[in-house]
Amino acid sequence: MTKFNELNLNPKVLKAIEEAGYETPTPIQEGAIPPALEGRDVLGIAQTGTGKTASFTLPMITLLARGRARARMPRSLVLCPTRELAAQVAENFDTYTKHLKLTKALLIGGVSFKEQEALIDRGVDVLIATPGRLLDHFERGKLLLTGVQIMVVDEADRMLDMGFIPDIERIFSLTPFTRQTLFFSATMASEIERITDTFLSAPARIEVARQATASETIEQGVVMFKGGRRDREASAKRKVLRALIDAEGDKCTNAIIFCNRKTDVDICSKSLKKYGYNAAAIHGDLDQSQRMKTLDGFRDGSLRLLVASDVAARGLDIPSVSHVFNFDVPGHAEDYVHRIGRTGRAGREGKAITICSNRDEKALDAIEKLIQKQIPRIENPIKEEPKAEAPKPEKKSKPSDQKRNEGKRDKEPKGRGRGRKEDNGPAVVGMGDHLPSFIALSFDERRAG
């Protein structure tokens, strides 16, 4: 088995790796680092949680150890689809450059432009950015990409899902043709293949697992949920979620709960907190400081349950997540693999449980087709409530009762005077027995009177 010290990395990088507690590279690292150190383009295809970040940060740091940065002209560029992933990449650089004097800047939304511009003006060796914020700085005339020697595109398939591909193509056109490109993705859609064919030159292709496969260390299960009344379905589903968490007991040390919509993330998080669970929400509409505070709490163990949208499904380095709960079945089958890949990382065991309602069964079929196996069905921990008894039919009157009632109606009402109805008088409906006698008279009788 290959060791890091056999990969021709800078000795100061190796020292940082050793201090971080790593000795053996993962398959994607073992395959990608040697050609990257040779200056070749690399196309890496691997599922989430396989160590892709170190597979490009380690050779980049080694290659950048010689040379100096110039103002507004970064020497390397790393593009990430989300703020969280960009922040994680920045943490990796901090970890592995601790014995080297390399500078970096993080360009993401939710942070002051002035602070970022100050870093760029001094010159940085590594620029880590989301596509939108990078182009904002470029269009303001604060950044030049003509000095980029190494360019990395991380989580390319997520870039495609989020609509960043036109931005990626534009950024490629702003960098030198002679740059080295390291391109990583969990899946290879046709649009991504087109980009790699256009912008990568004879890349070393490293594929360490079947596309979109789930780790064998993850125990999977699905609860088939029958919602009943639509106005109570969401509430009943949250009750099932709480019961699933309780059923795992102490084995569930922490968990990420995924919802498809941001509104459901907030509702689910508030509901859990209402019932006494230690939970918080994270999604794209929260400001950056709040998102980072929530993630830090989840990492250090002060937060047990993280309720998230798919913005948190990719690339977040949280190695010890015991459980993943899919409150909703994801609409894209690939997202299921990325979600459950948050648990069972680095050889640890994990568990992923999905709640599937009737309307989600087609999406579940697509997931099982993708991962090429059936997900075991598990029993709903909430027993179905017994159906309400149908209302009893009204008791029919007996024939004797009907005759008795008819007899009462046939009796002539008591009373005296002109208000009494005559047997042979005209029947007037709705006036009762107190009909004035002059109205009861026929028209001819009244004229005659």
Q: How far apart are CA 263 and CA 302, in angstroms?
A: 24
DSSP letter at 73 equals B
pLDDT confidence of residue 241: 97
Angle at 359 between CA 355 and CA 361, to 5 degrees: 65
DSSP letter at 344 equals S
Q: How far apart are CA 415 and CA 422, in angstroms?
A: 12
Q: What is the CATH number of domain 218-371?
A: 3.40.50.300
Mean pLDDT by 10 residues, the chain (449 residues): 89 94 91 96 83 93 90 94 88 93 90 87 94 94 94 91 91 96 88 93 87 78 86 90 95 95 93 96 80 87 92 66 95 85 82 94 93 92 59 54 51 47 48 54 51
pLDDT confidence of residue 287: 77
Q: How far apart are CA 239 and CA 131, in angstroms?
A: 40
pLDDT digits (tens, 9 = 90+) for 377-433: 999 998 755 444 455 555 555 555 555 555 544 444 444 444 444 444 444 455 555
Residue found by looking up tokens 């949280």 in the block: 318
- In the beta sheet, which residues pair with residue 308? 258, 282
The CATH number of domain 4-207, selected from 3.40.1280.10, 3.30.300.30, 3.40.50.2300, 3.40.50.300? 3.40.50.300
- C-alpha dist (Å) from residue 406 to 395, 400, 401, 403, 429: 18, 10, 9, 5, 17
pLDDT confidence of residue 377: 95
Q: What residues contact 43, with CB distance under 8 A and at least 6 apart?
A: 183, 196, 200, 203, 204, 205, 206
- In the beta sheet, which residues pair with residue 355? 223
pLDDT confidence of residue 113: 85
Q: How far apart are CA 168 and CA 437, in angstroms?
A: 97
Q: How far apart are CA 142 and CA 72, in angstroms?
A: 7
The structure tokens listed for 431 are: 């006036």
Radius of gyration of the chain (CA): 36
Q: How far apart are CA 48 and CA 45, in angstroms?
A: 10
pLDDT confidence of residue 11: 95
SS3 content of the chain, % helix, strand, coil (to 5): 45, 15, 40
- C-alpha dist (Å) from residue 282 to 42, 143, 252, 263, 294: 33, 31, 20, 11, 7
The structure tokens listed for 82 are: 């989300």
Q: How far apart are CA 134 and CA 142, in angstroms?
A: 10
Domains 4-207 and 218-371 share a fold: yes
pLDDT confidence of residue 71: 87
DSSP letter at 70 equals B
pLDDT confidence of residue 440: 53
Which of helix, strand or coil describes residue 355?
strand
Domain residue spans of the chain: 4-207, 218-371, 399-448
Q: How far apart are CA 109 and CA 291, in angstroms?
A: 12
Q: Which of 232, 239, 327, 334 is nearest to 283 (CA)?
A: 327
The structure tokens listed for 249 are: 């007991």
DSSP letter at 421 equals P
CB-CB contact of 142 with 119 (8 Å)? no
- C-alpha dist (Å) from residue 355 to 240, 352, 380: 8, 10, 9
Amino acid type, 228 = G
pLDDT confidence of residue 448: 47
* Residues 370, 376, 378, 384, CA torsion sign: positive
Q: How far apart are CA 108 and CA 317, in angstroms?
A: 18
Which of helix, strand or coil describes residue 255?
strand
Starting at the edge strand found earlier in the chain, the sheet holding 323-326 runs: 218-225, 350-357, 323-326, 255-258, 305-308, 279-282
Say whether pTM exceeds 0.75: no
Angle between helices 131-139 and 113-122 (to 10 degrees): 70
